[in-house]
Structure formats: structure tokens, C-alpha cells
Amino acid sequence: MEVKIPFFSMFLEYLLRKFKSWLNRRNQVETERQKQQDEAEIVQEEGKLAKESDDAANEIDHILH
Amino acid sequence: MKKIILSYLFILLLSLGCTEVQIKPDPSLSAVSANYPTAEFIACGTRWHGLGICPLYSRDYLDSIQLKVQGYFDGDIRVFASNSTEVGCQMDNHFTYRNSELIEIPLPKIASSCTFSISVTPHFPNQDNQSSVVTKTLPGFLRVRKLNFGDFWTGDTIRNPENGQIFFNIPTADNGISLADIRGCGVVFDGVLTASQGKYLVDLNSKGFVPHVQLCTLEGVIFGNSIAKWSRLIAIYNEAYVPLPKPVVISDDREITVYADPTVSAIFFDNEFKLSNQGEFPFDSTKSHVMRLLTSSARSVIGEYDPKNEVWVWK
């Protein structure tokens, strides 16, 4: 019995490390996916802001000239 | 036997999960989702938090505003500008940074109005070893307004909660009434403004402004004692978003102790940082300091210490 415990615990440790590595990989993929989604949203907002701001500025400049 | 295995398993889990300082989950709505810009950058000589606005006089090029973006830990930055109506205002550049550096962004050498979006994605230390927290990107927006040489102009930025009231409040030396035109954010106003107690004050909700989640710029011109142009970059954010509160700070001549909101994962003080919501840092009350707090949902607070008045100014 005393001889078997180290093998069993090593196997458990191996399984835990494998599980943790799988969780980390999953988190890295999710973080990258989230980053791309955030960036896409920010870029989309910029497009709307740029158009709206330029139109407003041009109207004001047009009133002045 | 069972007891031995269980206790071994417990110690193993403990050693795998708790040996590193952890990033804290921040259950609040993220800065991007709520439309609450939090990226930090310097442009036209001013440090901005989330939103920035700069003038560009007709003789100058866009790169004269000298844009620099603040990184957190290691990470990457994307700066994007689309070509809407201004010719030449177009870029989509990615930068990587290290050690929370302030990174200089080369801009197009053109003389044009332009709107930039800034995305800062920090990579927290130990992030790869922590499976439960997904960190978010800090958004920022910079508007550059092209003006004629000699134009009198003021510009500012504001973040307002959804369904809040927006006022047109411009300081003025004028007395009495002035003609004004205001455009942008759904507002079309051509009329008379009355100066009261050193400022013009108009409730824009009654002039067509719809206070739903959006980013927009109000542009105005006032025909007072002189002709003055005015721009205000506005972010209307989701009411469910809770802006990160400023921290409690206790300092003496040599040390400062910071107590931040429990959701804060990192405190940056000048060139040092601590992965915690509490920390002590060396402090010299006769010098300027900068403090930044950051959560995993990209909520942030920036504080600048003014040694002259011995106060912290929070953004």
C-alpha cells in the first residue's frame, strides 16, 4: 500500500496539471476573442463618431462662411 | 487511505491555485460594453482619460498634436481612424508595449480634422495562469478639430449617464444675449443665448438632444463680442455602469498608502505597481505624482498629485 500512494498521487498531479493547462488555454482563447470583439466595437463607434463630428463641424464652418 | 488522498489533493489544489497573486474579477459592466471610455492618453499637451479633444490650426499637421498612449503592464494598442469626410484622415496601426510604458503614436502628416479610436489591451501578470478572469480592453477616443488660423475656440469633453440632462454651459465674458448656432448629437439650434452669471446655459434636451447611449460631438458658434467656436465631445454611457470610485489615500512626507475599491486588481504609482487594491508607495509631497487604478473590466481612475496645492486631482 505504501508503495502505491506515490504512483497514485503522481497520476493525480498529472491529471490536475493537464486540467489546469486546458483551462489556461481555454482562457487565452476567450481573452483573445474578447479583445477582438472589444476592438471591433471601439472601431465601429469611431466610425459613427467621425461621421457625426465631421458633419457637425462642417455645418458650423458653412454657417460662418 | 482516503484521508491521505484527500489531504494530498487539497494541498495540491492549494499549491496550484493560490501561490500567485490573483487578478480580481470585476462584475461591473465593462468600459467597452457601457460606452464609458477609460484609455489614458496625452495629446496637445494634456493628459486625457477616455475622451480627448484638440484644436488643429490650418497651418499645422495632424502629427503636431503629439499623441502618446499609456500602456498597463505589457500589452498592445490599436489606433484607428476612418476616412469619413476628411481626406487623408485614415490609419489602423497596432503597437506592442512593455512595462506600462507611454507609447508615442505616429500620426499622418496632414492638415485635417480627424477622430481616433484607441484600444489598450493590457496583459496582466499571471493572467495565463488564471482561468477564471477574462480581462477587457480600455477604449478611448480623440477628436481633432481643424480651425482657421486666428479662430477663437474652446473644447471640452464630458461623460454623462444615459437619460441624464445635458446642458450647453460655456463660460463667457459677454453679458446679455448673443446669437448662436449649435449642431451635432441630433441638435439643430439657431437662436439666441442668454449669458447668466458668466456663462451661457441651455438645456439641450429641449433642443433635440436624445440622451441615449452614444458618442457624439456638439459643435457651436456664438456671435458675441467676438465670434467664438466651441466643441464638446460627449460619451453617453449605460446607466448600469458604475464608474470606479477614487481611492482613499493617506500620506506623509515619505510614504503614501492607497485603499482602493475591492474590485481593483492593480494600483500603479509613478513607475511602480502592486497587484492589489491596497498598497504603500514611496511619496514625496514636493513632487508631482501619477496614480492609476485598474480593474479587469477596464474600469480605471487616474489621479495627478499637484504639489503646489498638495491635492490629488482625479479623472
Higher pLDDT pick, B283 / B149: B283
**Nearest-Cα residue of chain B relative to residue A54:** B85
Backbone angles phi, psi at B87, to 5 degrees: -70, 130
Task: Indicate the pairing of strand B51-57 with strand B138-147.
Answer: parallel
* pLDDT tens string B194-225: 888 888 888 888 888 877 888 999 999 999 88
Residue B131 has its nearest CB partner, among A1, A27, A50, at A27
What are the grid coordinates assigned to B269, written together? 504609482
Q: Is the pLDDT of residue B283 over 90?
A: yes
Q: In what order do the strands lie in the sheet with B266-269?
A: B272-274, B266-269, B289-294, B300-306, B311-314
CB distance B312 to B304 below 8 Å = yes
Complex confidence, ipTM? 0.85
* pLDDT tens string B291-309: 999 999 999 999 999 999 9
Predicted local distance difference test score (pLDDT) of residue B76: 95
CB distance B120 to B69 below 8 Å = yes
Predicted local distance difference test score (pLDDT) of residue B16: 47
Does A63 touch chain B if contact means CB atoms closer than 8 Å?
yes
Q: pTM of the predicted model, to two decimals?
A: 0.89
Predicted local distance difference test score (pLDDT) of residue B1: 55
Residues 53-112 of B with CB under 8 A from A: 78, 80-82, 84-86, 89
Q: Chain B partners of A31 at a C-beta cutoff of 8 Å?
A: 127, 134-135
Question: How high is the mean pLDDT in each 10-residue block of chain A (65 residues)?
Answer: 70 90 85 92 95 94 88
pLDDT classification of B18: cutoffs 50, 70, 90: very low
Helical segments of chain B, H only: 2-17, 31-34
pLDDT classification of B14: cutoffs 50, 70, 90: very low
Helical segments of B80-172, H only: none
CA atoms within 13 A on the CB side of B308: 1
The DSSP output letter for B287 is S
Q: Please identify which residue in the block is written with the cell numbers 455602469.
A: B241
What are the grid coordinates assigned to B178, written together? 448673443
Higher pLDDT pick, B77 / B150: B77
| Range among A10-19, A39-48, B5-14, B170-179 rated most confident | A39-48
CB pairs < 8 Å spanning A and B:
146
Radius of gyration of chain B (CA): 23
Predicted local distance difference test score (pLDDT) of residue B209: 84
**Cα(A56)–Cα(B182) distance, integer angstroms:** 8
Task: For an interface test with A, give the residue of B82, B93, B138 to mutate (most A CBs within 10 A).
Answer: B82
DSSP 3-state of B117: strand
